[in-house]
Amino acid sequence: MGKEIFEEYESNVRGYCRKWPIELVYAKGSIYKDIDGNEYIDFFDGAGALNYGHNPDYIKEKLISYLQEDGIIHSLDMYALPKEKFISYFETEILKPRKLDYKILFPGPTGTNAIEAALKLARKVTQRPDIWAFTGAFHGMTLGALALTTEAMARKAAGVSLNANVVHIPAPHFMNHNFDTIGYMEKLLEDDHSGYEKPAAIIIETVQQEGGIHVFSEQFLQDLRSFCDKHEILLICDEVQIGCSRSGTFFSFERAGIVPDIVCMSKSIGGYGLPFAITLLKRELDVFKPGEHNGTFRGCQLSIVAALAALEMTVKQDIPGMVKEKEEIVKEYLEANIKPLLKEDMEIRGIGLSWGIEFKDGKLARQVLDKCFEKKLIIELAGSNDSVLKIMPALVIEEELLIKGLDIITESIKEVLK
Ligand SMILES: Cc1ncc(COP(=O)(O)O)c(C=O)c1O
């Protein structure tokens, strides 16, 4: 029957397959193969779920031997050996060296689950209902997380009002980099005629990914931390997409030297593209009663085996260091080859292995995406009106493939902007 089966029987809500109408059969490293034998370079990386590439051998071998031993797969939140090993490694190799002291909550296995747990916890701890998020935020599709997400189409689909108990604060870049976001928030809390109440928490993605690759400055993040301390507001960092070394440090907030109160992780924390999420919380915030927040698929042990192997790769292969080296390659490449092609109002932004080319025009960006696809590069758009081409290769991508992918972008932009 072929691809028509999807059109006939799969819900209309399917999305990515419309941009890239190929049927995938194989993937290794940064290469996809479709059913017709065509090869594509992957610069999308499962929206950040495949930081270690497709089917990385180190993780695959651990998964295969775990399956062969009939290791426990589903155990709800009963104690299980893979989880013990994961917690132990996470504690000694990830948290301790960074002087971080968090407890780990295992929510349902997706990013939006990690966010929902964080919101509920922050509200319970502070007994305040409001959460502040920033314009451009993307935190997931379930109602609580969707209320924080700003994208108009996704919000509209909720079918209910999302405006209760969430306030969007203009990010500095929202107003041409000039807006004094912290000053504005100060005023909202200080002035008894602002109409605003003190929130339970402020949530931030240190680099807005879906929002169009906007990197919050170190200064801003530090000022935000101070603001939260001053007003006793919890700071939540959404590391779902920018975490797991993509920014050049394991946690993206490390570059600013700040410590959030709650940290949400998913996507690449699952190592192999398997569903997994964790919500980290400062010890004193551990106020849920047993079973007060639960779910059937918390901490699938197979995902945890992969997650542990990914952490081992991170430490043994110094993946954050690898990212910093590749960051230089990408930065220099974009400066030298792509910037000269762009019009004055277009922009290049990014950090680590997350870069955006802002075309300011969604139609142009889509034309570039289509050209890239013709030339066998899978790459996504983000930002206002989908006007930002989002460069997000696997962190372990070979240099040759990285350059090949970047060359395809250059050629595509040349053809579209000629
Ligand atoms: C920053 C961020 N938070 C949360 C989510 C939601 O994750 P999920 O799609 O796994 O629910 C995403 C998904 O793209 C994300 O990028």
Confidence tier at 195 by pLDDT (50, 70, 90): very high
Confidence check: pLDDT of 82 > 90: yes
Pairing type for strands 234-238 and 262-265 reads parallel
Nearest residue (CA) to ligand 1, atom 7: 111
Query: How far is 124 from 186, CA to CA, in rounded Å?
Result: 24
Is 265 within a domain? yes
- Residue 173's alpha-carbon distances to 136, 215, 273, 346, in angstroms, are 9, 9, 32, 14
Phi and psi, residue 237, nearest 5°: -105, 125
Confidence tier at 262 by pLDDT (50, 70, 90): very high
Site to probe by mutation for ligand 1, drawn from 142, 148, 241 as the one with most ligand atoms within 8 Å of Cβ, is 241
pLDDT, residue 87, reads 98
pLDDT, residue 85, reads 98
198 and 207 Cβ atoms separated by less than 8 Å: no
pLDDT, residue 211, reads 97
Residues 6+ apart with CB under 8 A from 160: 143
Nearest residue (CA) to ligand 1, atom 13: 140
pLDDT tens digit sequence for 85-136: 999 999 999 999 999 999 999 999 999 999 999 999 999 999 999 999 999 9
- Residue 157's alpha-carbon distances to 141, 385, 391, in angstroms, are 10, 17, 28
Burial bucket for residue 218 (CB in 10 Å: 0-12, 13-18, 19+): middle
pLDDT, residue 3, reads 87
pLDDT (average), residues 168-186: 92
And the tokens for 359?
């075309």
Nearest residue (CA) to ligand 1, atom 8: 111
pLDDT, residue 128, reads 98
Site to probe by mutation for ligand 1, drawn from 45, 51, 139 as the one with most ligand atoms within 8 Å of Cβ, is 139
Is 285 within a domain? yes
> What residues line ligand 1, using a CB cutoff of 6 Å?
47, 110-112, 115, 138-140, 205, 209-210, 238, 240-241, 266
Is 162 within a domain? yes
Residue 415 CA, ligand 1 centroid: distance in Å: 33
pLDDT, residue 202, reads 99
pLDDT, residue 292, reads 96
Residue 140 CA, ligand 1 centroid: distance in Å: 5
Phi and psi, residue 385, nearest 5°: 55, 25
Query: How far is 198 from 130, CA to CA, in rounded Å?
Result: 7
pLDDT tens digit sequence for 267-298: 999 999 999 999 999 999 999 999 999 999 99
pTM of the shown model: 0.98
pLDDT tens digit sequence for 357-399: 999 999 999 999 999 999 999 999 999 999 999 999 999 999 9
Residue 160 CA, ligand 1 centroid: distance in Å: 21
Q: How many domains does the chain have?
A: 1
**CA-based torsion, 301, 306, 309, 314: positive or negative:** negative
Is 267 within a domain? yes
Pairing type for strands 39-42 and 347-351 reads unpaired
Atom of ligand 1 nearest to the CA of 142: 11
pLDDT, residue 35, reads 96
227 and 233 Cβ atoms separated by less than 8 Å: yes
Atom of ligand 1 nearest to the CA of 141: 11
Is 400 within a domain? no
- Is the pLDDT higher at 149 or at 1? 149
Domain with residue 214: its CATH number is 3.40.640.10
Q: Which residue has the tokens 């929510």?
A: 107
53 and 268 Cβ atoms separated by less than 8 Å: no
Residue 148 CA, ligand 1 centroid: distance in Å: 12
Is 133 within a domain? yes
Query: How far is 69 from 388, CA to CA, in rounded Å?
Result: 46
Three-class SS state of 397: coil
pLDDT (average), residues 170-196: 93
Residue 111 CA, ligand 1 centroid: distance in Å: 5
Query: Residue 267's domain spans which residues?
Result: 60-316
Is 30 within a domain? no
Atom of ligand 1 nearest to the CA of 115: 4
pLDDT, residue 299, reads 83
Site to probe by mutation for ligand 1, drawn from 44, 112, 263, 381 as the one with most ligand atoms within 8 Å of Cβ, is 112
pLDDT over 70, % of the chain: 100
401 and 326 Cβ atoms separated by less than 8 Å: no
pLDDT (average), residues 27-51: 97
Mean pLDDT, the chain, integer: 97
pLDDT (average), residues 341-349: 96
Is 16 within a domain? no
Confidence check: pLDDT of 176 > 90: no
Residue 8 CA, ligand 1 centroid: distance in Å: 28
pLDDT, residue 413, reads 98
Atom of ligand 1 nearest to the CA of 145: 4
pLDDT, residue 301, reads 97
pLDDT, residue 390, reads 98
